[in-house]
Amino acid sequence: MSKNASTQEIETPGSEAELDRLVTQIIGRVADKWTMYLIDILHEEGPSRFGELGRHCEGISQKMLTQTLRAMEREGLVHREVYPVVPPKVVYSLTDLGSGLGAAFCGVWKWAAENRTRIEAARRDYSRRHGE
């Protein structure tokens, strides 16, 4: 019983390598552009309707919006509430899990904001040194 210093694991059959693989897999599904955008939007705007999300999420197609929201629902990041009215109304909101991820992502947003000039400088530098 050398490991498991974490928060709430009771039954953990796999090896730590396997755990690693699992966590990596989760990151792989979640570290996606649209997911990050949507979590951010839901974080700022609060519970939002499908159309609102589409409008706030610059450049996303309605197909990707649906698709991404479904995936997020599957991972337990968002809750989908359907109001049986006409015209239809569907409101998406972050679950606790989603909020947690949003909070975690916050660091990445801050990093991007704080370092954007350096990133752009690096890019200019690169294209100068390479093929222009």
Partner DNA sequence: CGGAATCCATAACGATACTG
Partner DNA sequence: CAGTATCGTTATGGATTCCG
| Spatial contact of 30 and 76, defined as CB atoms under 8 Å apart | no
Burial class (CB in 10 A: 0-12, 13-18, 19+), 71: middle
Of 1, 2, 7, 131, the one binding a copy of itself by CB under 8 A:
7
Q: How far is the CB of 12 from DNA (least distance, A)?
A: 28
Closest distance between a copy of itself and the C-beta of residue 121, in Å?
7
C-alpha span between 77 and 43 (Å, rounded): 12
SS3 content of the chain, % helix, strand, coil (to 5): 60, 10, 25
108 binds, among DNA, a copy of itself, none (CB under 5 to 8 A by kind): a copy of itself
90 counts as binding a copy of itself under rule CB under 8 A? no
Q: Which does 51 bind (CB under 5 to 8 A by kind): DNA, a copy of itself, none?
A: DNA
Neighbours of 130 (CB within 10 A): 7
**Which one of DNA, a copy of itself, none is in contact with 62 (Cβ closer than 5 to 8 A by kind)?**
DNA
| Residue 55 Ramachandran class (φ > 0 left, ψ -120 to 50 alpha, else beta) | alpha
Considering only residues 1, 13, 58, 85, which one is a binding residue for a copy of itself as defined by CB under 8 A?
Answer: 58
Shortest distance, position 85 Cβ to DNA, whole Å: 9
